[in-house]
C-alpha cells in the first residue's frame, strides 16, 4: 500500500492511532477540520485523559487566507452549583470526586458539532459517521 503524501497538510497527534485517523480522512479528500474531528474522537478513546468527551474543547483554526477562527467549547457552570447548595449537602468545600464535583457541563461534543459545521462551510463532505468510524472501532476493541 502506498503511503499518501500531502504537500499542504499534516496530521499530528500525541497518539499514533489518532494521527492515522486524521491521515486517512485527508487521504479520502477531507479537509483539515474534518481530519481534526477524526483525530479528536480517536484521542477520546485511546488517550482519554487528553481529550475525553466529558471535558471541554478549544479549537484554533487558521483559514488559508489567514483569518483565524476559534471554537470555545467549554461548558457553562451548573445553575444549581452554588455555595449554599454545597453547604446544604454537607460540604464545606467542593468534593474532589462524585456527582457534586462536576461544576460545568462538558462542551467537547458540542465543539465537535460546531467544528463539523465549520468543516462543511469549507467544502467538507465527509459525514460524521465516517469521521467517527475509527474511534468507534477502537472503542469496540476496548469493550
CB 35 within 8 A of CB 129: no
- Any bridge partners for residue 89, and if so which? none
Flag whether pLDDT at 135 surpasses 80.
yes
Q: Reduced to 3 states, what is the DSSP secondary structure of residue 46?
A: helix
Segment 31-56 shows an average pLDDT of: 91
Segment 86-105 shows an average pLDDT of: 87
Q: Reduced to 3 states, what is the DSSP secondary structure of residue 59?
A: strand
Confidence of residue 118 (pLDDT cuts 50, 70, 90): very high
Segment 12-38 shows an average pLDDT of: 94
Flag whether pLDDT at 1 surpasses 60.
no
The alpha helices in the chain, defined as continuous H runs, are: 16-27, 32-46, 48-51, 83-88, 108-121, 128-142
The whole-number pLDDT of residue 54 equals 85
Q: Which three three-digit cell numbers place residue 56?
A: 471541554
How far apart (Å, rounded) are the C-alpha atoms in residues 131 and 112? 11
The whole-number pLDDT of residue 10 equals 80
Amino acid at each position: 500500500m502506498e503511503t499518501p503524501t500531502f504537500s499542504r497538510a499534516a496530521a499530528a497527534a500525541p497518539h499514533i492511532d489518532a494521527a492515522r485517523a486524521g491521515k486517512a480522512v485527508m487521504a479520502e479528500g477531507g479537509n483539515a477540520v474534518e481530519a481534526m474531528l477524526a483525530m479528536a474522537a480517536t484521542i477520546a478513546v485511546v488517550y482519554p485523559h487528553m481529550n475525553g468527551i466529558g471535558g471541554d474543547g478549544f479549537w484554533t483554526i487558521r483559514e488559508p487566507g489567514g483569518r483565524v477562527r476559534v471554537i470555545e467549547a467549554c461548558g457553562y457552570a451548573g445553575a444549581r452549583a452554588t455555595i449554599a447548595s454545597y453547604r446544604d449537602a454537607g460540604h464545606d468545600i467542593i468534593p474532589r470526586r462524585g456527582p457534586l464535583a462536576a461544576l460545568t457541563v462538558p462542551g467537547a461534543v458540542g465543539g465537535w458539532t460546531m467544528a463539523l459545521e465549520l468543516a462543511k462551510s469549507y467544502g467538507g463532505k465527509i459525514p460524521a459517521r465516517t469521521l467517527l468510524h475509527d474511534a468507534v472501532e477502537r472503542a469496540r476493541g476496548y469493550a
